[in-house]
């Protein structure tokens, strides 16, 4: 902000030539038509004694001003001009030549806008940070971008991390509107050690870790974005902490596991049958062998919920969610049947359901939900 203030002061001391010429002559006077420069002594003499200046005219007092004030304003800084003199000049200019001053103000405002945008872009580039915070006896890795008032926490999917799941959001979300925080849940990505395990409450544990991380970072209220397992974790966090959550967006998520779901999970248990494009991001983070073992452990971990009544993960928490919620579902999602998002929409009272047929559609709905 210091640079902007200095720029504005210097603009006051360097008025354009239109305002300089117009400030010394009455509109339509012979001197103004001849374009005489106000710094010349002949011009000052003629303006001071022009017969059109009647006593009591707003410019009649010009001849009683010190010659330094009536001189060229380009030399003003050398004469020790202070802000009060600049303000007097501007008031007199507005009375004598409003068109020139309006032009000068427009140009000054345009330059101020350009300077402000450059400053904001600089802040946006310099506002990215990353590191680890000690939360619930674990060092959790996080990345933070932007400086907006609307804080957003990103929940990755199964085995996911900021690197594998949320690179576009961390890079492209409006940094003037949002402060975006991505993190790696314990045992995932760069939040290792410890090694990831899947006890019966691992979703609850991740939800508590995410909320406590935001508290550690100093956020008092924030929104949640979660997909797949991250959507389940986000719903638990929103239900357990309604006073902290502003809005929520979830996609590809479910709150119970059916026998059909188990068949889908077992079909993808062996990662060697995946395409290389699907395996590559995870193998870069964990290594090929470690990723294969961790994925099998996840399949066993999610399968344990099928043994519960109705395959319940967190069905009882949905009525406790009070924040505005957007539920997104891909029509071609191979892992989440369409009855899951419909169940969420029916049981989350402040929710909307958006079905998308392609990735651009998802982006539009996602952006609109955060801007509303």
Kindly report the pTM of this predicted structure.
0.65
Distance CA 353, CA 171 (A): 26
pLDDT band at 311 (very low <50, low <70, confident <90, very high): very high
Share of residues in the chain with pLDDT > 70 (%): 66
Distance CA 106, CA 87 (A): 17
More confident site: 19 or 229: 229
Per-residue pLDDT tens for 228-268?
999 999 999 999 999 999 999 999 999 999 999 999 999 99
pLDDT band at 54 (very low <50, low <70, confident <90, very high): very low
Mean pLDDT of all residues belonging to the chain: 79
Residue 172: CB atoms within 10 Å: 12
Distance CA 169, CA 185 (A): 17
**Nearest of 241, 246, 132 to residue 179 by alpha carbon:** 246
Q: Are 130 and 143 in contact (CB under 8 A)?
A: yes
DSSP designation for 34: H
Residue 97 has what pLDDT?
A: 66
What number does CATH give the domain 128-371?
Answer: 3.40.50.1820
Of 9-13, 77-81, 225-229, 351-355, the poorest mean pLDDT is in 9-13
DSSP designation for 195: P
pLDDT band at 4 (very low <50, low <70, confident <90, very high): very low
Q: Is the pLDDT of residue 23 over 70?
A: no
**Nearest of 325, 151, 345 to residue 242 by alpha carbon:** 325
- Close Cβ partners of 75 (under 8 Å, ≥ 6 residues apart): 39
Exposed, middle or buried by CB within 10 Å (0-12, 13-18, 19+), for 271? Answer: middle
- φ/ψ of 161, rounded to 5, equals -150, 175
pLDDT band at 355 (very low <50, low <70, confident <90, very high): confident
Question: What number is the average pLDDT over the span 159-165?
Answer: 95
Distance CA 62, CA 95 (A): 13
Of 126-130, 193-197, 303-307, 333-337, the poorest mean pLDDT is in 126-130
Per-residue pLDDT tens for 127-151?
689 999 999 999 999 999 999 999 9
> Best-predicted range by mean pLDDT among 20-24, 31-35, 305-309?
305-309
Domain boundaries along the sequence of the chain:
2-124, 128-371
**Nearest of 175, 251, 183, 170 to residue 211 by alpha carbon:** 183
Which tokens go with 76? 């003003």
Element counts in the chain: helices (H) and strands (E): 16, 8
């Amino acid at each position: 902000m210091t640079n902007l203030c200095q720029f504005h002061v210097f603009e006051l001391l360097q008025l354009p030539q239109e305002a300089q010429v117009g400030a010394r002559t009455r509109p339509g006077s012979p001197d103004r038509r001849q374009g005489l420069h106000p710094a010349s002594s002949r011009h000052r003499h003629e303006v001071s004694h022009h017969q059109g200046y009647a006593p009591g005219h707003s410019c009649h007092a010009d001849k009683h001003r010190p010659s330094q004030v009536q001189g060229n304003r380009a030399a003003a800084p050398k004469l020790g001009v202070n802000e009060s003199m600049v303000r007097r000049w501007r008031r007199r200019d507005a009375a004598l030549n409003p068109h020139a001053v309006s032009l000068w103000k427009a140009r000054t405002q345009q330059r101020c806008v350009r300077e402000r945008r450059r400053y904001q872009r600089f802040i946006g580039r310099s506002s990215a940070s990353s590191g680890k915070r000690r939360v619930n006896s674990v060092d959790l890795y996080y990345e933070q971008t932007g400086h907006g008032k609307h804080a957003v926490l990103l929940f990755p999917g199964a085995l996911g991390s900021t690197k594998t799941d949320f690179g576009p959001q961390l890079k492209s979300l409006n940094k003037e509107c949002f402060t975006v925080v991505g993190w790696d849940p314990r045992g995932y990505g760069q939040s290792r050690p410890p090694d990831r395990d899947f006890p019966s409450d691992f979703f609850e544990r991740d939800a508590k870790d995410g909320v406590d991380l935001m508290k550690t970072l100093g956020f008092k209220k924030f929104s949640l974005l979660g997909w797949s397992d991250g959507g389940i974790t986000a719903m638990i966090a929103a239900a357990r902490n309604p006073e902290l959550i502003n809005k929520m967006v979830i996609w590809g998520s479910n709150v119970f596991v059916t026998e059909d779901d188990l068949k889908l999970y077992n079909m993808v248990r062996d990662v060697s049958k995946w395409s290389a494009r699907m395996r590559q991001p995870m193998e870069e983070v964990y290594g090929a062998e470690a990723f294969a073992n961790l994925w099998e452990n996840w399949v066993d971990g999610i399968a344990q919920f099928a043994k519960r009544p109705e395959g319940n993960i967190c069905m009882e928490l949905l009525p406790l969610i009070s924040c505005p919620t957007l539920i997104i579902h891909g029509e071609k999602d191979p892992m989440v049947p369409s009855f899951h998002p419909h169940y969420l929409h029916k049981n989350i009272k402040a929710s909307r359901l958006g079905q998308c047929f392609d990735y651009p559609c998802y982006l539009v709905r996602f952006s609109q939900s955060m801007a509303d």
